[in-house]
C-alpha cells in the first residue's frame, strides 16, 4: 500500500469495534472503497481453552446472525464457542413468570451467545478478505469538514481524505464530539457486573432473567457446555460489593440470587464491571457524518440488544450506500437522511422498551403489583409473546 492509497478513501470508519468492522466488511463486499481507523490494533483471538472465556459475551439475534452470515463471518465462528438460547424464562420481583420458546416463534434459536473476541476475530477476517483497509494503532488529532468531504488528521502527521466519516468509536465517541453532536448520557445509577461460571447442572439452552425487588436485573446466559455467563445490573453500591468478593463467595452469591437454578457454581476467570447509561441523540447524522453502534445510542442491557442495534445500523447504512444507484457520493445528504429515517423507528422502539422496563422495575418503582400482573398477563397470551419477541429476533 502506498501513502497515496492511505490518504484517500470513499468511506472512513472510525472505530474497529463490532459494528464498525461489520460495516466495513459489508461496504467492501459492495465494492465501496473503505478504510477503518482505530486507536488500537484489533487482533484475532488466540486459541482458547474451554475455561478461557471472554468476560464480554453478546446475545446475537437471528437477524444479526443472518447479516453476519452474508458477510462470511458467522460460519467461521468455532462451533464449540457458540451456544444457542432455545428458551428464556423471565421472573418478576413478585413471582410473575414470562417464558419464550424458539420453537413457538419458528426460529432455530432466540439468540446465540458468542464471546466478543470470537466475533471480533471473525469480523476482522471478513473485512480484510473483502478488501477493507486498516490504519491502526493511531490517535485522532483533528477532523476538518468541507463541502465535498472531510479530512481526519492523525497524531503521526498523516491525513485521510474521505467523502463520509462513520463514527463507530463507542459511547464516548471522539468523532461525535468533533462533529459538534452534543451527547450527555443519563446514568442509570447501575453497574453491569459480568462473570462466567461452571454449573453443577446443565442449562439446557435456557436463559434466565430475574427482575429483583432492589431494582436490579440478574441474567444468566448459556455458554457451551455446563457453563453460563452472568450479567448483574446492580446498584453502584451492590456492584462494588460483588466485585470485592472472593471468587468462591461471588459464585455462592450468584447461585443464591438465582435460586440455585443450576446448582452449585464455580467462577471462571475474573469478573468485570461496566457503568450503565441511557443515550438518545437528537440526530445520528450530520454533514458528511453518520453514527453507528454505541456512538449513536445507548440502552439498558436487560434485553441484550445493544450489539444487535449496532449490527442493524451497519447493515442499513451499508445497504443505503451500496444501493445508491446514480448517486456517486456516499456522503450525499439524501443517503444519510435515508439511513437516519430507516433506523429511527427500530432504535426508538427498543430504547422505549428497555428504558421503560428499567424504570418500571427500578428501585422504588411504583405499581409493583401492576408490573408483575403485566408479565403474567403477557405469558398467557401467545400472540402477545410473539409480538414482544419479534422485534428482538429481527
- 99 pLDDT higher than 60: yes
CB crowding 47-83: b at 16 or more within 10 Å, else e = eeeeeebbbbbbbbbbbbbebbeebbbbebbeeebbb
Could you tell me which CATH class the domain 3-45+119-185+279-360 is placed in? alpha beta
210 DSSP assignment: E
137 DSSP assignment: S
Q: How far apart are CA 253 and CA 213, in angstroms?
A: 16
Q: Would residue 293 be called left, alpha or beta, if left means φ above 0 and alpha means ψ between -120 and 50 degrees?
A: left
How many CB atoms within 10 Å of residue 324?
Answer: 17
Question: Quick one: CA dihedral 242, 201, 268, 82, positive or negative?
Answer: negative
Instruction: Tell me, yes or no, if the two domains 3-45+119-185+279-360 and 57-116+188-277+363-393 fold the same way.
Output: no
pLDDT band per the 50, 70, 90 thresholds, residue 215:
confident
pLDDT band per the 50, 70, 90 thresholds, residue 4:
very low
CA 328 to chain centre: 31
Residue with grid cell 464480554, as numbered in its chain: 56
By the 10 Å C-beta count (0-12 exposed, 13-18 middle, 19+ buried), 236 is classed as middle
Residue, of 181 and 394, whose pLDDT is higher: 181
pLDDT digits (tens, 9 = 90+) for 296-318: 999 988 767 889 999 999 999 99
pLDDT > 70 in the chain, percent: 88
CB-based contact 178:152 (threshold 8 Å): no
- 128 pLDDT higher than 50: yes
Q: Which three cell numbers stand for residue 258?
A: 438465582
pLDDT band per the 50, 70, 90 thresholds, residue 29:
very high
How many CB atoms within 10 Å of residue 205?
Answer: 16
pLDDT band per the 50, 70, 90 thresholds, residue 144:
very high
Tell me the pTM. Answer: 0.91
CATH number for the domain whose boundaries are 57-116+188-277+363-393: 3.30.9.10
CB-based contact 33:164 (threshold 8 Å): no
CB crowding 298-311: b at 16 or more within 10 Å, else e = bbbbbbbbbbbbbb
Q: How far apart are CA 194 and CA 250, in angstroms?
A: 11
Q: What is the domain partition of the chain in residue ranges?
A: 3-45+119-185+279-360, 57-116+188-277+363-393
pLDDT band per the 50, 70, 90 thresholds, residue 160:
very high
Amino acid at each position: 500500500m502506498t501513502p497515496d492509497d492511505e490518504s484517500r478513501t470513499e468511506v472512513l470508519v472510525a472505530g474497529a469495534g463490532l459494528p464498525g468492522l461489520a460495516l466495513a466488511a459489508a461496504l467492501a463486499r459492495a465494492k465501496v472503497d473503505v478504510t477503518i481507523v482505530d486507536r488500537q490494533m484489533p487482533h484475532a483471538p488466540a486459541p482458547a481453552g474451554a475455561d478461557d472465556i471472554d468476560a464480554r459475551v453478546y446475545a446475537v439475534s437471528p437477524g444479526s446472525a443472518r447479516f453476519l452470515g452474508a458477510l462470511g463471518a458467522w460460519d467461521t465462528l468455532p462451533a464449540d464457542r457458540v451456544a444457542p438460547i432455545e428458551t428464556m424464562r423471565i421472573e418478576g420481583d413478585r413471582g410473575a413468570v414470562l417464558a419464550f420458546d424458539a420453537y413457538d416463534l419458528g426460529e432455530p434459536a432466540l439468540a446465540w451467545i458468542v464471546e466478543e473476541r470470537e466475533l471480533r476475530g471473525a469480523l476482522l477476517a471478513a473485512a480484510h478478505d473483502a478488501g477493507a483497509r486498516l490504519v491502526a494503532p493511531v490517535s485522532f488529532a483533528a477532523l476538518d469538514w468541507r463541502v465535498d468531504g472531510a479530512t481526519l488528521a492523525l497524531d503521526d502527521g498523516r491525513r485521510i481524505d474521505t467523502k463520509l466519516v462513520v463514527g463507530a468509536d463507542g459511547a464516548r465517541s471522539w468523532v461525535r464530539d468533533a462533529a459538534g453532536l452534543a451527547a450527555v448520557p443519563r446514568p442509570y445509577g447501575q453497574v453491569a457486573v459480568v462473570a462466567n461460571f461452571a454449573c453443577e447442572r446443565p442449562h439446557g439452552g435456557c436463559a434466565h432473567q430475574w427482575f429483583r425487588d432492589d431494582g436490579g436485573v440478574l441474567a444468566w446466559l448459556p455458554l457451551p457446555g455446563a457453563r453460563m455467563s452472568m450479567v448483574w445490573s446492580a446498584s453502584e453500591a451492590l456492584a462494588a460489593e460483588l466485585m470485592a468478593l472472593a471468587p468462591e463467595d461471588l459464585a455462592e452469591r450468584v447461585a443464591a440470587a438465582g435460586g440455585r437454578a443450576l446448582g452449585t457454581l464455580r467462577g471462571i476467570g475474573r469478573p468485570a464491571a461496566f457503568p450503565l447509561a441511557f443515550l438518545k441523540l437528537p440526530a445520528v447524522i450530520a454533514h458528511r457524518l453518520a453514527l453507528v453502534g454505541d456512538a449513536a445510542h445507548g440502552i439498558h442491557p436487560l434485553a441484550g440488544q445493544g450489539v444487535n442495534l449496532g449490527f442493524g445500523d451497519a447493515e442499513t447504512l451499508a445497504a443505503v450506500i451500496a444501493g445508491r444507484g446514480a448517486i456517486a457520493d456516499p456522503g450525499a445528504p439524501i443517503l444519510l437522511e435515508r439511513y437516519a429515517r430507516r433506523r429511527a423507528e427500530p432504535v426508538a422502539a427498543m430504547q422505549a422498551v428497555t428504558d421503560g422496563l428499567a424504570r418500571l422495575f427500578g428501585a422504588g418503582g411504583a405499581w409493583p403489583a401492576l408490573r408483575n400482573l403485566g408479565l403474567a398477563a403477557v405469558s398467557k397470551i401467545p400472540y402477545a409473546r410473539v409480538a414482544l419477541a419479534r422485534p428482538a429476533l429481527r
